[in-house]
Structure 1
């Protein structure tokens, strides 16, 4: 893993921003006349694949995925740790069509946010947690019934490598109420695409897809237990990837 020069990073962001402007502008003219699955693939699927290719070509960022056999045929709730922007590109391209929970302010970003608004996102107001939970539950359930994957970053924000944030229960609650599983995902993208600053590192990002996890029921305790299981799996998976420090071995008394 080597740190990249400022020139390569600047070139990457220039090409990424230019492509976003051009693709979003084209999407405004074409996408509104498409049905949602086709609209998603046109706006988000193709562009995110390009972003991943650009990251590989310019930054030397490759990806290795394990556990692909665990992906169920029916779309469900995806719960992943959040360290960078890269995993948003990857998951948006890998699972199609997909909606994700995001802060509503992102929809006001020129071009990018306007295009995102056409992708049925679950836009929440973080200053109103109760309303946010209701919105995730109601809109998420409709999306799942329409055969759309729902992505939730339960930590709520990007967390630096070496740390793991508290997992909210929104993903577990949505899956339990819909009678569908949570598909847990862990990765170490933050090692190569740090949360802070513009610096980037070349290398291979590891993505692990775990086995689907079901709640035993729909009650609060069932939801809490499922959320605890997802958190424990993600924590262990991140330790295996080197994103979290190893737990010191217990010394015999």
Structure 2
């Protein structure tokens, strides 16, 4: 990494952290008086767009979206691969309002956590996978009925670029039970924003949005089949964009393994 890029990364994190503190502090005082859709846009969409602007103009990381026409009008369950923090910024700004699974401990972080708590997140205890799955099912169904997108990273944790984790069935179970489709999304953000370290590359992140996928029936078999179909599409999309240049056996992530064990 060059000295110039290292300076850019330092400036990026200083501005990102400062903007987060200021925006979350402001949101804590004004957002409670807004309706949820307006509150979400004020807190999350505006700040995530700021983060994407900093990413683009300071780090030199751009993005392009293929398949925008596939996004349905009715919110549903989004299934996306997970490689970095970037896709959290992008998806939170691109789909509004949106809820996602996060560790409940984050809600206790001053200002940041307090602001997040106002966005109706699905807060779970990762040390208790069975209880976490029940909370995802309960809160997720409630959110979908209220017209909120639900984002699920089925791998359970961020995977290094060039690897893909085994998909848990929590997201497809949620969609099948709500009689809604899943919207598969693949990206290669990890190529420029690695999972480990502070280093960042320059270039254009590809985001591919697939057609909504519906289950063939109901019950465990339909859930498993839909999950396999979505995982296959996301894996193939990553191969097409060069994220998985060769055949890669799914690597089981610790959280994904725990969630799959709980599924069974």
Q: Is the 8 A contact 1:184 1:234 kept in 2?
A: yes
5 Å-filtered alignment, 1:98-177, equals 98-177=98-177
> In structure 2, the residue corresponding to 1:123 is in which secondary structure?
strand
What residue is the counterpart of 2:42 in the other structure? 42
What residue is the counterpart of 1:86 in the other structure? 86
> In structure 1, the residue corresponding to 2:223 is in which secondary structure?
helix
1:24 aligned onto 2:24: yes
> Distance between the aligned counterparts of 1:134 and 1:174, measured in 2?
10
**CA-atom RMSD in angstroms:** 1.5
Moved more, 111-120 or 2-11: 2-11
Deviation at 1:164, TM superposition (A): 0.4
Q: Is the 8 A contact 1:3 1:202 kept in 2?
A: no
Q: Report the count of equivalent residues.
A: 248
Q: TM-score, normalised by structure 1?
A: 0.95
Q: Identify unmatched segments of 5+ residues in structure 2.
A: 249-264
> In structure 2, the residue corresponding to 1:201 is in which secondary structure?
coil
Q: Is the 8 A contact 1:141 1:178 kept in 2?
A: yes
Cα deviation digits, residues 171-195 of structure 1 (max 9, x gap)? 0000000010000000000000000
> Distance between the aligned counterparts of 1:6 and 1:12, measured in 2?
10
Q: Identify unmatched segments of 5+ residues in structure 1.
A: 249-253
What residue is the counterpart of 1:95 in the other structure? 95
> Distance between the aligned counterparts of 2:4 and 2:211, measured in 1?
35
What residue is the counterpart of 2:217 in the other structure? 217
> In structure 2, the residue corresponding to 1:5 is in which secondary structure?
helix
> In structure 1, the residue corresponding to 2:74 is in which secondary structure?
coil
Deviation at 1:2, TM superposition (A): 8.7
> In structure 2, the residue corresponding to 1:198 is in which secondary structure?
coil
Q: Is the 8 A contact 2:5 2:59 kept in 1?
A: no
Q: Is the 8 A contact 1:28 1:115 kept in 2?
A: yes
> Distance between the aligned counterparts of 2:90 and 2:4, measured in 1?
21
Q: 1:215 to 1:4 in 2, by over 3 A?
A: farther
